[in-house]
Amino acid sequence: MKLPIRWLKDYVKISTDSKTLAEDYTLSGSMVEGLENPFAVIQNVYTSRILSVEKHPEADKLFVCQIDLNRGEPTQIVTAATNMKEGDIVPAALHNSTLWGGTSIKRGKLRGVLSDGMFCSEEELGLKEEGTCDGLMILPETTPIGIDIKTALGLDGGILDLEITSNRPDCLSILGLAREASAMYRTPLEKPRMDYPVIPADGEAVKVELDTPLVRRYMARELVNVKIGESPEWMKQRLLEAGIRPISNLVDITNFVMLELGQPMHAFDKREITSGTIRVKEAAGGETFTTLDENERTLRSKTLLICDEDKIIGLAGLMGGLDSEIRPDTSRVIIESANFDGVTIRTASSYLNLRTEASSRFDKDIDPNLVELAMDRLCHLVTALGVGQVLDYTVDVYPAKRTPNTLTVSVSDLNQFLGTHIPGEEMTEILTYLEVEVRPEGDLLHLTTPTFRNDLAIREDIAEEVVRIYGYNRVPATLPHVNAPRGGRYPHQILRKKLEGYLAAQGLFESISYSFIARKDLDKVLTPEDSPLRQMVEIRNPLGEDFSVMRTTTRSTMMESLKRNQNRGNAEAALYELGKVYLKSEGEVLPREKEVLTVGRYGQDLFFHLKGIVEILAEEFGLKDLSYQRSKSAFFHPGKAAEALLGKSLLASFGEVHPKVLSNYGLDQNCYFLELDVELLFASASITKKYTEIPKYPSVTRDLAVLVDDSVLVQDLEKIFSKQGGSLLESYALFDVYKGAQLPPGKKSVAYNLVYRNKEKTLTDKDVAKVHDKIVRSLEYQLGAVLR
């Protein structure tokens, strides 16, 4: 946002120099990116009065002028200009002067007559574009003689270039920045005049129809007897300093109001609104429209259109149409002042590559209440400058009015929060200058914030407003008051830490791998064609074919890690990974992310080591109802793999990897693999420790060896132990499984150690025999076991 300091001083009377003003703006939160004075290049140019004009003795088109510079003796200038006369006050560039663009002027002779310099046009002073001037610049009669032209024209104030953050759209205006200066220097803000006369309407009023909720407010007024011409010099100069090229008086007024108040405006030639109705609607997509810059644009859906019924006459918040622009013969005009949805304008601006002063304000969600203020200001300027007359009707469609926020803050609380001792009276003064209504009540301040400050909603917002105007540099350096009670880990974090600690205690090293794989990796781990694991999430921009899908299993990535260890010459490998798999869910856009524990090992026979990991995890995490069954997964070696069930849910699969999988990965030794559902483990975990009294009475131990079929699982025996042992059977432990020539074919010997104990009394042999015999009979009856 460019801020001409000369324009700023129209609203707030300050004498601060431009450098100090830039520093104060930065300290108050409005970052100044640069300070420039484009007219500083103009040097040694002064105001002068023409004393006489005579024809050049040797040239018909040249004139010899004597001028008064208020220096005693007259100065002689030779010129070819014809629009001046005796008594006129004109800019004179003297010997060793510099003009706009860096042109140097020296004393010299024209056709033998000495000229001490030259007269200047507006173009040569940078006030008009090249080729738009017809002669010298004639200054007002009241202009002092002999002063620097920059001082005479007010061109020596400089221009600040400020970076305005997205939460402060109110500062995208000269008046908004003047309000900031008013608060910084505690100087009254002089607001622009809004009054204007009206004349009776001479026909039917224009109508406005909104076919979309993306228009927050739309106001229209009609101007008649419009006379298109040039704007006054003071307006053109302010627009030029702010970076906008003057076009014509009416268009310049709309741009002037936009810069002054921050509300974009637009003027339509009424001849193009043949239906008498302005309709705002959304584009269907694919329409074409030629904008004021003479570019034909193809529109996308949701672009907001200003239409004469169905004919497009403008792109809302962006740019008007070429056909409805203001022309030299325009006499009746419809003025638009509206407020549009910021996201919609930003999206359309980006798609069309059309960034304008209007779009840069609308896309920051400016205040809808600015619409009426800007319309009144424009009507004042139109009538005050004699550009036209305003009809006495207004169309104002405002579906949902924005109302001020209200909140209450405590002076002592703000001071404690800021580490300051600012009196409540000073806080009230600061906030009042920022146009916040303040009603003090003891230590409390009841506030009503203006609608153009929608960012003021909570205590911290008010604290920021107070301290930035009070001055960050005035806040004493103090240690922050921190009340941070020591926190603990979440239950999930506790369980994860416990799991990681146990895995490390088992001698396993953590492995980390990519979450994306190739489709062919599922073939290498023998995944069936009809497996749901083949429903994978495609990556739109993969690093390559080997990383084109998200993994649904960790088998391939762990096998790659084992292969890498073997290739590096490691005789043994003991790895684990806690990672996620990505499973497609029916009806869901995003996949379900499931955490899985994977253990991969080689170097010796490790089947029972993996089973031990599962068993100890079940014990450590308090899992109940854990059982096992043979695994039928093609990934594992037949007969050398198992599945651990928690109730009816699969908790883990483990065993020796199938030789074909080993061959696919080039591994020449047996590998063992465990895959465990971490989510199920944590969801079923119960790690609360309970106190158990040390037994007072001794235990009784019995060994039990039975002959059973080879197909019988030891798990089947243990189920009978648990059921028939009752409360007396304290524990049991397998200590031998034997198969050999001494046993019948298809049979095996299984031996257990059983511990009995009664917590209330000392057991007798009779008590133990009763339960032990019951267990033996159940084994014989249910499993065909024979006592050895």
pLDDT digits (tens, 9 = 90+) for 133-153: 778 999 988 899 999 998 888
The tokens describing 424, both together, are: 């409540």
Give residue-wise pLDDT tens across range 224-239.
Answer: 999 999 999 889 888 9
Flag whether 73 is marked binding: no
Q: Categorize the per-residue pLDDT at 218 as very low, low, confident or very high, splitting at 50, 70 and 90.
A: very high
Pairing of strands 104-105, 117-119: unpaired
Instruction: Judge whether 520 lies within some domain.
Output: yes
Is 10 annotated for ligand binding? no
Same domain, 60 and 28: no
Q: Is residue 193 part of a domain?
A: no
Domain count for the chain, please give it: 6
CATH number where 759 lies = 3.30.70.380
Beta carbons within 8 Å of 156's beta carbon, 6+ residues apart:
37, 39, 40, 148, 150
The predicted model gives 705-728 an average pLDDT of: 88
Give the CATH number of the domain where residue 169 resides.
3.30.56.10
- Do 591 and 526 reside in the same domain of the chain? yes
End-to-end CA, the chain = 97
3-state DSSP assignment of residue 94:
strand
Q: Amino acid identity, residue 2?
A: K
Q: Supply the CATH number for residue 384's domain.
A: 3.50.40.10
Whether residue 629 is found in the same domain as residue 745:
no
The answer to whether residues 745 and 773 belong to one domain is yes
Domain end position, chosen among 397, 416, 437:
397
> Does one domain contain both 313 and 417?
no
Percent of the chain whose predicted confidence (pLDDT) is above 90: 63
- Cα–Cα distance for residue pair 580/252, rounded to 1 Å: 62
For 378-419, write each residue's pLDDT tens digit.
999 999 999 999 999 999 999 999 999 999 999 999 999 998
Give the number of other CB atoms < 10 A from CB of residue 32. Answer: 19
pLDDT at residue 132, rounded to an integer = 74
Separation between Cα atoms, residue 319 and residue 348, nearest integer Å: 11
Q: To 10 degrees, what angle do helices 459-470 and 411-418 make?
A: 70
* 301 and 445 belong to one structural domain: no
User: Does the annotation place 202 within a ligand binding site?
Assistant: no
Is 547 a member of any domain? yes
Query: 225 and 200 in contact (C-beta within 8 Å)?
Result: no
pLDDT in the model for residue 266: 93
- Whether residues 230 and 371 share a domain: the answer is yes
| Chosen domain end from 377, 397, 417 | 397
Which range among 363-367, 434-438, 626-630 has the greatest average pLDDT? 434-438
pLDDT at 677 over 80: yes
pLDDT, averaged across the chain: 91
Instruction: Please report whether residue 77 resides in a domain.
Output: yes
Distance CA 684, CA 620 (A): 12
CATH of residue 618's domain is 3.30.930.10
Q: Is residue 100 scored above 90 in pLDDT?
A: no
Q: Is residue 190 part of a domain?
A: no
Which of 308, 344, 373, 14 shows the shortest CA–CA distance to 170? 373
| pLDDT for position 593 | 92
Per-residue pLDDT at 692: 81
User: Which residue segment(s) compose the domain that 20 sits in?
Assistant: 2-37+158-185
User: What pLDDT is stored for residue 17 in this prediction?
Assistant: 83
pLDDT of 755 reads 93
Q: What is the mean pLDDT of residues 480-484?
A: 72
Same domain, 648 and 557: yes
pLDDT at position 525 is 93
Residues 270 and 340 in one domain: yes
Three-class secondary structure of residue 719 per DSSP: helix
- For residue 438, being part of any structural domain is answered with yes
Same domain, 593 and 664: yes
Residue 692 lies in a domain: no
Mark whether 100 and 225 lie in a shared domain: no
33 lies in the same domain as 179: yes
Which of these three, 368, 397, 426, is where a domain ends? 397
Q: CA-CA distance, 12 to 185, in Å (whole number)?
A: 9
The span from the CA of 124 to the CA of 558, in Å, is 77
Alpha carbon distance 27, 680 (integer Å): 56
Give the pLDDT of residue 16.
84
Which spans in 388-490 are helix H?
A: 411-418, 424-433, 459-470
**Across 29-33, 132-136, 552-556, 738-742, which has the greatest mean pLDDT?**
552-556
Is 461 assigned a ligand-binding role in the annotation?
yes
Give the CATH number for residue 99: 2.40.50.140
pLDDT digits (tens, 9 = 90+) for 312-335: 999 999 998 887 788 899 999 999
Could you tell me if residue 484 is inside a domain? no
Under the banding of pLDDT at 50, 70 and 90, the label for residue 40 is confident
